[in-house]
Amino acid sequence: MTFRDVVNSLSLDLKTSKGDLDRKITGCYVSDLLSDVMANANEGNLWITLQTHPNIVAVAALKNLTAIILTNKRIPEKDTIEKAEKESLPIASSKLSTFEIGGLLYQRLRC
Amino acid sequence: MEKKIVGSFHIRGGDFKNAGAAASEFKSILTKLALTPDLVRRAAIATFEAEMNVIIHAIAGVMYYEILPDHLIITIDDMGPGIPDIALAMQEGYSTAPDWIREMGWGAGMGLPNMKKNADTFKVETVVGEGTTVEIIVNFKEGLYDL
């Protein structure tokens, strides 16, 4: 599954214009603690979080994550979008809660 | 003389906007040297956490790196408050970061433990009121690199 598939199937609102939407997702990690993501997310994972500030891009880039989904209608800060475009990291927003997005993705990704 | 690559990064306390810049540049240096992805990952995580500690707690700091054929050494020297109780600071979950930093998702008390986990040798020297020096050594167990 690619991030493009996720954006389409979960009707996510894509907030960035650059970045590879066709990279294969290796799994998903859910956390709002950045050190936790650094320690436990795996390369190619999709990251679900409430954090909207630019440091999420630095963490995602360092861990070579596929993309970030912001939940509960949160939108990335302006600086976050700028940094994400620079790093070619896609970020999308969802109206759904972290629990709902996580649940939907768990069903799709576990098989 | 033994071959090595050395360099440094200056980090300003409170500079959240550039958080991860030193770690990111260091990661690209290691990637260019064709270190294994696991070594790059470990060094990058340790460096990012060390960089964050300077940004969160200190006025400023310098990160020095030395890459040798069989290991790398990262030394972070900061002008910060120092750590009164290192054993407590090493405990996962313990943090002295203020609330606004915790709201950003930092200050979870995972910084020093994450550095230690990714290091083969890990040392902390600190003087309260003066600053802290952290040394992280990552060994290249799979053999020598041609630098």
What's the pLDDT tens digit per position in B66-84?
999 999 999 999 999 999 9
Which DSSP state fits A20?
-
- Helices B37-57 and B21-32, axial angle in degrees (round to 10): 160
A57: helix, strand or coil: helix
Range of the domain at A10: 3-109
Distance CA A66, CA A90 (A): 8
Supply the CATH number for residue A72's domain: 3.40.1390.20
Number of structural domains in chain A: 1
When CB atoms are compared, the residue of A39, A53, A56 closest to B114 is A39
Q: Which residues of B touch A (CB under 8 A)?
A: 16-17, 19-21, 23-24, 27, 37, 41, 44-45, 48-49, 52, 104-106, 108, 110-111, 114, 117
CB B132 within 8 A of CB B111: no
Quickly state the pLDDT bin for B1 (edges 50, 70, 90): low
Q: Count CB pairs under 8 A between chains A and B.
A: 61
Q: What is the pLDDT of residues A65-88, one digit of tens each?
A: 999 999 999 999 999 999 999 999
pTM: 0.94
When CB atoms are compared, the residue of B24, B111, B117 closest to A58 is B24
Cβ atoms within 10 Å of B99's Cβ, excluding its own:
8
In this prediction, residue A111 carries a pLDDT of 54
